Amino acid sequence: MVGSTSEDEAKPVSDTATARLKQWLLLDGDRFVIAAAIAAAFGIAYVALSIVGIAPIANGQPLFYAFSGLISGNFTLITVVVSINQLLLSQELQSPGELESEIEDTVDYREEVEAVSNQTAPAEPSGFLRLVVESARRDAQRLGGTAIDDLSADGRDEVDEIVTDLTNEFDRIDGLVAESGSGIFNTLSTMLETNFAHEIQRLEEFRRAHGDEMSADTDDAIDDLLNRLREMDIARQYFKSVYLQVELSRLSRYLFYAGIPAVGTAIAALFVMTVATGPPFGRPVRAVVFPIAVAVGVLPLTILFSYILRTATVTERTAAITPFTTPEQEV
Q: Any idea where the domains of the chain sit in the sequence?
A: 25-93+124-317
Q: Which residues of the chain have pLDDT under 70?
A: 1-15, 276-282, 330-331
User: Taking the CA of residue 123 as centre, how many other CA atoms within 13 Å lie in the half-sphere pointing to its CB?
Assistant: 0
User: Which burial class, exposed, middle or buried, applies to 297 when counting CB atoms under 10 A from its CB (0-12, 13-18, 19+)?
Assistant: buried
pTM of the model: 0.83
Q: State how far the Cα of 121 lies from the Cα of 107, in Å rounded to an integer.
A: 11
Residues in the chain: 331
- Integer-rounded Cα Rg, in Å, for the chain is 27
Task: Supply the pLDDT for residue 8.
Answer: 39
Contact between 151 and 229 under an 8 Å Cβ cutoff? The reply is no
The reply to whether omega before 125 is within 30° of 0 (cis) is no
- The string of pLDDT tens digits covering residues 272-302 is 877 766 666 667 777 888 889 999 999 999 9
- The string of pLDDT tens digits covering residues 104-144 is 999 999 999 999 999 999 989 999 999 999 999 999 999 98
